[in-house]
Structure 1
Amino acid sequence: MQAGRTSRGDEAAETHFGYATVPLGEKQSRVDEVFHKVAGRYDLMNDLMSAGLHRAWKEALVSTLRPPSRRPWRHLDVAGGTGDIAFRVLEAAGPQAHVTVLDINPDMLAVGEARAPARFAGQLDFVEGNAESLPYPAGGFDAYTIAFGIRNVPRIDLALSEAYRVLRRGGRFLCLEFSHVDVPILDAVYDAYSFTAVPALGKAVTGDGEPYRYLVESIRKFPRPAAFSAMIREAGFGRVTDRPMSGGIVRLHSAWKL
C-alpha cells in the first residue's frame, strides 16, 4: 500500500478520527480498518442509511460531469473502490472513455473488481494508491471525482493539490461529500437519526456499529462549505462552487483547472 507523504512536522501533528484526537500518522491505518470491516456491505449500507438517496446524489454528480460521447477521455475516480461512480460514468460516456478507480483500501477495490460489468472491459481499471500522492504524471486526466471519501483523507490539502496536479488544463474536479444540514428542524432530526439509528443499523447489518459511529462523527468534523471551498481555491482551482442537496445533507463541490 502506497504511503502518504510525511515530514518531521507531521510526526508531531495531531488530527481527528471522528471525535477522537489521534497522531496524524495513525489516522490512515484507523480509516483502513474501518473500511476493511464495512467493504462487503458498503453499498448495501449506503442504500439503507440514505433510503436510496445516495443513488440520486451520484446521478447528479455524473449529470454535472457530462462525460463526452465522441472523443477519448480519461477520468480518475478517487476513493471509489466499489466502482459505484465509475460504472455510472462509463454508462454515460462514449466508448473511448477510460476510468481509473483509485482507492487506498484493497478490500474496497476487490468489491469493485468483482462487480465490474464485463461490457466495460478495457475501459476500466482498479488501482491501489493514496489520494495524497497519486502515482500519475501531471496533466494526465480530463476529470477527477471523489464521492464521500475526502473527509477520510488525513491531509486534505495534499489530496486537493494532487487532484490539481494530475488534471489537464481545463480539467474538472467534482467532490460529493456529506455536509451540514441548514434546514431548521431537519437538522435536529438528522442528528438524532445519525447518532442513534445509523450505528444500530450498521451493527444489525454488519455485526459492528463502531465503524458507522466513526463515519457519522467524521461528517461533523468535516470543514464547513465555505472553508472547504477556500481549500479548493488554495490548491489552485478556479470557478469553485458548491450545490446543496437534500436540505444540505450533501453538497456537490465543483471546480476547474483553468
Structure 2
Amino acid sequence: MADPTKDITNFGFRKVIKDNKMHLVSDIFHTVAEKYDLMNDLMSLGIHRIWKCFAIKSSGARRGQYILDVAGGTGDLTAKFAKIVGEKGEVVLVDVNDSMLNIGRAKLRDKGVLGNVYYVQANAEELPFFDNYFDCISISFGLRNITDKEKALKSMLRVLKFGGRLLVLEFSKPIFPLLTKFYDAYSFYVLPRLGKIIVNDSDSYSYLAESIRMHPDQDSLKMMMQLVGFEQVSYTNMSGGIVALHRGFKF
C-alpha cells in the first residue's frame, strides 16, 4: 500500500499536499514582490547586505566564469556577480516566480547591469541547463521555500562543473539560547506586524518565520548536501547562527 505521507510536505507549520506548496509559496511572492527589497532592509536592519557580500567573497567567482543564481529574486547577488565575471562571463538569474523575476530584471536594468545577465523562469528542482555548465551556483534565502530540497540540490549538482562550488545562504538555527528567545519573539510578533504595516500582509511574514523554523539546521543541511553528492561541505555561521552560509564542491 502506498504511503500517503509521501505526498505531504510542510508549508510553514501547516501540512499541505506537495503539489500545492509551490503555488502557495508563489502566491506569497506575488504579493510581496514590489516591496521585497524594502522589507529585507527593514527586517534585517540592512544586515542582509553584509550576509550577501560574504557569500560573494566566498564564491571564488572570477572574470569569464558562468554563474547561476537560483531563486535569485530581485537580483542582489546577480548584480554583484555580473560585475565580477565581466563581459566574457555570464550570470543566469533563475526564479520560479515571474513577479520576482520581473522586479529583478527592471531593478538590474535601472542599475545598468546589461549584456552578461540572463533571466530564466524555472523550478530549481528541474533546472533547464546542460550538465556541468556553471562554475558557481548560489541560492540565497530560497532553499527553504523549495518543496523537494534534495531534488533541487541534485539538480544544482548536475549543472555545476567539476571543481565548481555551490553556495547556500539561508536562515538557520541560532547557537545561543538567549539569542533564540529574542529571535523567536522578533520573528513571531514583530515581523508579521511589520508586514501588515508595509505590505498589508501579515500572513506572508508569519509564513516566513514558520518556514525558517522548519528548515534543516546547519548540520542537517550539511548532511543533506553530502548525501546528494557534494564534497568538502562546510558552513559558516553569521549573526550568531541566525544565518549560515553552506559551501559544497563537485569533484
- TM-score class, shorter-chain normalisation, is over 0.9
In 2, are the aligned partners of 1:66 and 1:92 still within 8 Å (CA)?
Answer: no
Whether 2:37 is the aligned partner of 1:19: answer no
Gap runs ≥5 in structure 2: none
Instruction: Extract unaligned runs of 5+ from structure 1.
Output: 1-7
**Alignment partner, residue 78 of structure 2:** 86
Q: What is the aligned partner in structure 1 of residue 156 from structure 2? A: 163
Letter in structure 1 aligned against 2:194: L
Aligned position for 1:152: 145
- TM-score, normalized by length of structure 2? 0.96
> Equivalent residues in 2 for 1:84-123 (5 A)?
84-117=76-109, 119-123=112-116
Does the aligned pair in 1 maintain the 2:86–2:116 contact within 8 Å?
no
**Residue of structure 2 in register with 1:62 after alignment:** 56
In 1, Cα distance between equivalents of 2:133 and 2:125: 16
Q: Which residue is 1:5 aligned to?
A: none
The TM-score normalised by the length of structure 1 is 0.93
SS at match of 1:68: coil
Runs (4+) of structure 1 moved beyond 2 Å? 8-12, 91-95, 117-120
Amino acid paired to 1:235: V
Post-superposition Cα deviations, 1:28-85, rounded to whole Å, max 9, x if no partner, equal 110000101110011110000000000000000001113113xx21110000121111
1:238 aligned partner: 231
2:42 is aligned to 48
User: 2:211 aligns to what SS in structure 1?
Assistant: helix
CA displacement at 1:150 relative to structure 2: 0.4
The within-5 A match list for 1:129-148 is 129-148=122-141
Work out the CA distance in 1 between the residues paired with 2:153 and 2:6.
Answer: 22
For residues 131 and 204 of structure 1, do their structure 2 counterparts lie closer, same or farther at Cα, with a shift above 3 Å needed? same
C-alpha deviation, 1:97, in angstroms: 1.9
Supply the distance in 2 between the matched residues of 1:20 and 1:9 (Cα, whole angstroms): 19
Residues of 1 paired with 2:171 and 2:210: CA distance? Answer: 11
Q: Is the contact made by 1:81 and 1:126 (CA closer than 8 Å) also made in structure 2?
A: no
* C-alpha separation in 1, matches of 2:38 and 2:4: 36
Contact 2:87–2:115, Cα closer than 8 Å, also in 1: no
Q: Give % identity.
A: 41
Q: Is the 8 A contact 1:81 1:109 kept in 2?
A: yes
Q: Which amino acid aligns with 1:65?
A: S
> Residue 94 of structure 1: CA displacement?
3.2
RMSD over aligned CA atoms reads 1.5
The count of corresponding residues between Structure 1 and Structure 2 is 249
Could you say what secondary structure the match of 2:167 adopts?
Answer: strand
Change (3 A) 1:91 1:195: same
CA apart distance, 1:25: 1.0
Q: 1:173-193 CA distances to partner (integer Å, 9 max, x unpaired)?
A: 000000011113111011100
Query: Aligned AA for 1:28?
Result: M
Q: Distance in 2 between matches of 1:153 and 1:75?
A: 20
Secondary structure, counterpart of 2:86 in structure 1: coil
Q: CA deviation at 1:9?
A: 7.2
Matched, 1:34 2:28: yes
Letter in 2 for 1:49: M
Q: Secondary structure at the match of 2:237?
A: strand
Which of 199, 218, 228 is 1:225 aligned to?
Answer: 218
SS of residue in 1 equivalent to 2:58: helix
Contact preservation (8 Å) 1:11, 1:25:
no
